[in-house]
Structure 1
Amino acid sequence: MADAASPGALPDSRARYRPEIDGLRALAIAPVVLHHAEPELLPGGFVGVDIFFVISGYLITGIVATELAEGRFSLLRFWERRVRRIVPALAAMLAATSLAAWALLIPEDFTFFAKALVAASVFAANIHFAERTDYFFSFEGAQPLIHTWTLGVEEQFYIIFPLLMLVAFGRGGRRAMWLAVAAIGLASFALAVALAPRWPLAAFYLLPTRMWELMLGAACALLPRAPRTNGAAASAGIALILAGFVLIGPTTPAPGPMFLLPTVGTALVLLFSDRNTLAGRMLALRLPVLLGLASFGIYLWHQPVLFFIGYVHFGPLPLATKIGGIALSVMLGWLSFRLIEQPVRRGRLLAGRDLLAGASVMGLALPLALGAAGYLGAVGPRSMAEAGQLGGLRPPLASLGISEPPDDPLAFVLYGDSHAAQYYAAATARFGPGALVSHSGCLSTGELTSRSAADPQSEACRALPRQLTDIVRRRGIGTVIWAQRWERELFAAGTNRSVGLTTGAQGRARLLLAMERLAARLPAGTRIIIVGNSPTAWAAGSLFGKGWLRCRAWRNVTCADSYPASLAEGRAISAALRDFTAGSQRFDYVDAAAPLCPNGRCLLLQEGKLNYWDGSHMTDAAAARVMAGIALPQQPPALLPR
């Protein structure tokens, strides 16, 4: 993390160097790296970033306050120092990570990476990830750059904070600055406590809920300058930091009250440690200081290094490999410090302001352009060619939820979840224009849904049957093709009360009864074709949890092209659906597994094409095979009055 303008500098003096601050950086970066290498070993290691935030607030505020008091503060010079500190090193990491992503990622993951690359290039990664990316369970493609959220927080802080301090200083000097810092910090902490349990992603990633940690450091910097050495207080600070690593975990509301442990601990060390205290002497040892000096580079490089090592290896990484990844991260961090950060900050490289600006703009514009091109599909990874040949690219309509073409008449309406949407292109190609009414992860009959009331998507799921009946009546559609991932836990609509799993007798019986009731709400004569559960690639085992292409990215396994049909997902519920529709005047059944699982084997590759583009969803080729088993009436029914 970029938490200082100069290593270990005392904020209100340019003459004194405090090596214990560099040691404190080491105490912050080491747990972060260990957490990312082995999360179970140190679940709370990620709070090292909170330590960095406090250090950053302390050092930056001290510099700003000192220069304001001496009448030499310049916003332009301040921001130039920030650029020198951060941008060249970041640009180098983004360039190398982009090359690795191109070489190793599958197309689906590359799309997520490209979006993260755009955000990281404009210091908005925290805003991007706050939308829907859980720090601990993020999409693989986002993981190489997940750590850049902290740079977004800091850069936004660097833009806003000196402006606030200028205003406060002009109105009342150092005292007004301290009051402003205290007020902002308290408001931010209250906001963090309120949002952490309710909107956890926003609370975790965004500046307003992280500002209190920066302001805690800032408040320490603005306290009176009298000597404050206190060995007991400094040692207590170290103890609080260590307690934070142990007591905080991924499920702790962040950054809530528990985060006072590492942050207050950091404040105590900053305020009360020096070489006369035990804590100060320990932090000032040669190894922690060296590690702290390179901490920004280590932070930049460790996440992509550890991610890509894990990306090409199936299963837990051997201990030696993890140690090697950590060692490589430290080495790259040190090289970044010696070859990029120090020369640029001291003016040996990019000495002129114009040269610095040009190089910085170019260094971030290139990954920004690559990210935009990757997200728009104009640039793909090396694996794109093979994926295209195998027909394994994500279909253009894969994310479509609702579609109602203006054409009259419409031959069908596809209803269900994303396993219905996967058939839309094939159904349209086979039958002509049709409608789609679907919502990802939603099995809904009106009275039962697969999403509990606590789920943010509950209302959208409950609304699906109303949308279905509306479009069938309004457009006079005579055929409903109902396709789902049928293996679900069901809830009474609008409640958190489970009625059972569809794989169990009770849940299955409740589902079939609810399906009959939904059918009764449709116009008389509406035919409902039930499509059985897709066999899925998941059923082939953990190697194929993200599809055949993802399996191919692992270098230590061989990927099969089929698996026993007895393992196909949803065999039991599909059999129940087949029996349910037998002899029905209203329902028909189509077996999705039959064309994909000939001769007792479910094929992942069929006639040279992949059947799944991820672990669950069919390619257009596979969907066409299933739709070929459906016959619709030659003439659609007359339109009902509108």
Structure 2
Amino acid sequence: MKPAYRPDIDGLRAVAVSAVILFHAFPEALPGGFVGVDIFFVISGYLITGIVRSELHDKTFSIATFYERRIRRIFPALIIVLMATEFAGLHLLPPDELHSLGKNAVASALFSANLMLLSEVNYFDISAHSKPLLHLWSLGIEEQFYLLWPLILWALPHRKMPVAVGIALIASFALNLTLVRDYQAATFYLPFTRAWELMAGALLTFLPSQPRAIREPAAIVGLVAIEASFFLFTDKMTFPGWAAALPVTGALLVIMSERAFVNRFLSLRLFVGVGLVSYSLYLWHWPVLVFLQVYLFRPLNDTLGLVAIVLTSALSVLTFFAVERPLRRRATILPTGAAMAAAGLFGLYAAVAKAPDLPDELQAMISAPDGVSTWRVHECILLDGEDGDFRNCSESKRPLIAIWGDSTASALVPGFRKLQQDREFGFAQLSVSSCHPLLVPAHSASEYCLKKNSEIVRRISEIKPDVVVLHAIWDVNDRIGTTRPTIDALRAAGVPRIIILGPVPVWRGGLPNAAVDYFRRSGEIIPERISQFVDGDAGDKAMSAIAAELGVQYVSARNALCLGNKCLTHVNGAIMARDIIHLTKAGSEFLIGQIAPQLGIE
């Protein structure tokens, strides 16, 4: 017998999708809203397992029919969103982001969006918030579940099914706990470490109906657990891990409490209506938010966040009534598959095509070499908690100049290498991503940063450089009290000359994006110097004052790159920064060439 329709589950879908959208539009208002996706996983595990078990029991199950229904359910709306996103990307995104969009569109058409996004997770990848298809990672996991789970159930004797579900749940949850601390990105995106959430929903189908005395308190506890997750969790926490058990358990308790007061409340027409369009809402909300920010070239405020939600709602309702609902019953597989293939081919075109409305001069400017190949990544700049001793990161030539800092310090390497072509000096690179050169707790010094920075001081004591240049994306929150221990340690190590190199300009949204935005609004190449898009000089002034009080030399990177409030955007046809803060090869060579005399390199 086919499982009866439950309006309360559509109501739970409404809660889940609303949480995700509010989290993305107003992250401070609902900091844990991202767990709405975990609730979706539980719902999917429950519904799909229930449908397959019912059809197996009635001997009406057909794997081909199951896949056909899933295709009709998923593909039509997805095709529309992929096509619209690719079209918008071709007209609004710079080349690197357009290339990423194209790859992710292809992956989405091949049921592997989560795996593509995982492959792109690294320190030098474009910001996740500029990826219009980022949210499709969860759809990738669900699609992989749809492909495999019905086959597993079909192959199992009925009496073995609960055992298989229990084993899969425990194994997946254990794997999640084992990997999440050291491999958080993989734990987040991989189906093996997320399967326990789907299996939790599947397990519900094997449980008997609960008496009302249990259902009522269980539903309340479940709803409280879900709401607590929304407001107590943040995207800074380790997740999924143990934390994900709270919203998953909450969803389980609500689903198992059919006909409880909470479930009757979720069955109200408003909740059910939102739940019915939840798939389209989820598909549309993130591209709308991303492209609205790209078009306006600024983060969304509350007003614009509300505009994005209204626009998302309108597109979703239109998609549901014009595409989802009519094609769910009438669509034939061949045209639907062909349309999905077309969406994938469109994505492939976007991945290899140049942005069509950008002139060659601008294309060449923003595609200039970034210089990262010279950074000695994983060896002389450590990323994401990596271990390393910097043993091979210093030269024997004298005088020896050591650069110590975060990834912006490593971005200076091409400049030093260029200078070595006609100057005699040795170079040492000692850098850790996202770690200011500090030795005491501060906003910019995690426990890992403090540990690696202490090791760097010991390494400096061993190599005895003639000059140590401290460089990071210093900001106005840095204080004398947090910087003084670094200076004291270097003096104790016998460093004769210490230089604080001030922060480089920070480009809002990234300098390549700014260059593209300027052209699309004015029809002209971005000027060589501009005050638009760039931050103020508060960080430069703050670090200059700190250096003066500590009695060390201060060199202003900003003065070398800016005239007043106008900062250099490109030099010799190449963009100065590859993103918000990291200098390109050309930018690094220009800066180091400008400040070489102040560094004592004659």
Q: What TM-score comes out, normalization by structure 2 length?
A: 0.75
For 1:73 and 1:623, the matched residues in 2 are separated by 63
* Contact kept in structure 2, 1:97 and 1:304, CA below 8 Å: yes
Cα 1:321–1:73 shift into 2, 3 Å: same
Cα distance, 1:286 vs. partner? 2.6
Name which of 120, 137, 149 aligns with 1:149: 137
Which stretch of the first structure deviates more once superposed, 56-65 or 279-288? 279-288
SS at 2:583's partner residue?
A: coil
Pairs within 5 Å for 1:333-412? 333-346=316-329, 348-349=330-331, 351=332, 353-371=333-351, 373=352, 379-380=354-355, 387-388=362-363, 391=365, 393=367, 395-398=369-372, 400-402=374-376
Cα distance, 1:124 vs. partner? 3.2
Cα distance, 1:553 vs. partner? 4.5
Pairs within 5 Å for 1:78-97? 78-97=66-85
Name which of 472, 484, 488 aligns with 1:510: 488
For 1:123 and 1:464, the matched residues in 2 are separated by 48
* Contact kept in structure 1, 2:277 and 2:317, CA below 8 Å: yes
Name which of 140, 149, 158 aligns with 1:161: 149
For 1:332 and 1:571, the matched residues in 2 are separated by 51
The alignment status of 1:18 with 2:16, answered yes or no, reads no
For 2:369 and 2:480, the matched residues in 1 are separated by 29
Pairs within 5 Å for 1:525-604? 533-538=501-506, 544=508, 546-547=510-511, 549-550=513-514, 553=517, 559-560=531-532, 568=540, 570-572=543-545, 592=557, 595-597=560-562, 603-604=567-568
Name which of 247, 267, 282 aligns with 1:299: 282
SS at 2:233's partner residue?
A: coil
* Contact kept in structure 1, 2:266 and 2:272, CA below 8 Å: yes
One-letter code of the match for 2:219?
G
Cα distance, 1:218 vs. partner? 0.9
Name which of 164, 169, 179 aligns with 2:163: 179
For 2:214 and 2:244, the matched residues in 1 are separated by 21
SS at 1:396's partner residue?
A: coil
SS at 2:37's partner residue?
A: helix
Name which of 389, 408, 433 aligns with 1:441: 433
Name which of 173, 190, 208 aligns with 1:189: 173
Cα 1:512–1:113 shift into 2, 3 Å: farther
Cα 1:487–1:515 shift into 2, 3 Å: farther
Cα 1:592–1:35 shift into 2, 3 Å: closer
Residue equivalent to 2:382: none
Cα distance, 1:298 vs. partner? 0.6
Cα 1:157–1:432 shift into 2, 3 Å: same
Larger radius of gyration: 1
Residue equivalent to 1:124: 112
Residue equivalent to 1:614: 579
Name which of 285, 310, 323 aligns with 2:306: 323
Cα 1:562–1:321 shift into 2, 3 Å: closer
For 1:457 and 1:157, the matched residues in 2 are separated by 42
For 1:513 and 1:35, the matched residues in 2 are separated by 47
* Contact kept in structure 1, 2:225 and 2:249, CA below 8 Å: no
Residue equivalent to 1:476: none
For 1:393 and 1:411, the matched residues in 2 are separated by 35
Name which of 192, 195, 204 aligns with 1:211: 195
SS at 1:455's partner residue?
A: helix
For 1:253 and 1:416, the matched residues in 2 are separated by 29
Which stretch of the first structure deviates more once superposed, 297-306 or 82-91? 82-91
SS at 1:568's partner residue?
A: helix
* Contact kept in structure 2, 1:235 and 1:279, CA below 8 Å: no
* 1:77-132 Cα shifts (integer Å, max 9, x gaps): 32333233223322321222233333334456556545644544443333454568
* Contact kept in structure 1, 2:441 and 2:482, CA below 8 Å: no
* % same residue: 32
* Contact kept in structure 2, 1:531 and 1:592, CA below 8 Å: no
For 1:365 and 1:461, the matched residues in 2 are separated by 51
Cα distance, 1:216 vs. partner? 1.8
For 2:89 and 2:531, the matched residues in 1 are separated by 21
Cα 1:209–1:337 shift into 2, 3 Å: same
Cα 1:238–1:300 shift into 2, 3 Å: farther
Residue equivalent to 1:492: none
For 2:532 and 2:52, the matched residues in 1 are separated by 61
* Contact kept in structure 2, 1:107 and 1:383, CA below 8 Å: no
Cα distance, 1:158 vs. partner? 1.9
For 2:590 and 2:311, the matched residues in 1 are separated by 48
For 1:562 and 1:254, the matched residues in 2 are separated by 34
Residue equivalent to 2:15: 27
One-letter code of the match for 1:26?
A
CA RMSD of aligned residues (A): 4.8
Name which of 77, 98, 102 aligns with 2:65: 77
Cα 1:127–1:460 shift into 2, 3 Å: farther
* 1:467-514 Cα shifts (integer Å, max 9, x gaps): 9999x9xxxxxx99965525779xxxxxxxxxx967866335325426
Q: Structure 1: 5+ residue runs without aligned partners?
A: 1-11, 473-478, 490-499, 520-527, 582-588, 632-642
Q: What TM-score comes out, normalization by structure 1 length?
A: 0.71
Residue equivalent to 1:485: 471
SS at 1:223's partner residue?
A: coil
For 1:448 and 1:165, the matched residues in 2 are separated by 55
One-letter code of the match for 1:203?
T
For 2:46 and 2:131, the matched residues in 1 are separated by 29
* 1:247-306 Cα shifts (integer Å, max 9, x gaps): 4411554334554444334334433424xx544443333322222111111111011112
For 1:456 and 1:564, the matched residues in 2 are separated by 27
Residue equivalent to 1:493: none
Cα 1:19–1:624 shift into 2, 3 Å: closer
Cα distance, 1:597 vs. partner? 4.5
Cα distance, 1:608 vs. partner? 9.0
* Contact kept in structure 2, 1:25 and 1:292, CA below 8 Å: yes
Which stretch of the first structure deviates more once superposed, 103-112 or 300-309? 103-112
